[in-house]
Amino acid sequence: MSSGDLLPVEVIGVRVEMPSNQPIVLLREVGGIRYLPIWVGAVEASSIAFAQQGVLPPRPMTHDLMKTIIDEMATVLESVHLTQIKDGIFYATLNFAGEKAISARPSDAIALALRMDVPVFATVELFAAVGIEIPDAAEDEVEKFREFLDQINPDDFAG
């Protein structure tokens, strides 16, 4: 896939969708008005929230362990790509130095990217399929969402 097919995204945060009580991670196209909502599991939601808030658990979570393994193996995670949605399931890749790519769930890939401070990209096709446009006029809604994220505790996602 050429880099022209990818758009940089920022992780806005995690919230719980009501009434289903299902956590979602919300990503925004950098410099754009399109957003990607991705439904994730409660454990992954907690892991993403921990990483965004700089919370260090008393024992390493799975994504902390993955980061340690990558660091100790002297390899470099260069980026995360959110690649497609197929039958309602999102797909991602972890992209390592030496052009090695490993398939991953987007929630795991995002949690790891946040811990390793690597960029996250989404394909143009993914935005075309499930991207949601939120014009500048609705920016106050995004700000309300950010305020909600500031109030929420990662423990709120515990099973």
**Which tens digits make up the pLDDT trace of 22-57?**
899 999 999 988 999 999 999 999 999 999 998 888
How far apart are the C-alpha atoms of 143 and 124, rounded to whole Å? 25
Instruction: Collect all residues with Cβ–Cβ distance below 8 Å to 21 and sequence separation of at least 6.
Output: none
The confidence score (pLDDT) of residue 58 equals: 86
Tell me the domain boundaries of the chain.
3-157
Q: Which CATH number fits domain 3-157: 3.40.50.10890, 3.10.690.10, 3.90.550.10, 3.20.20.120?
A: 3.10.690.10
Q: Which residue has the higher pLDDT, 10 or 21?
A: 10
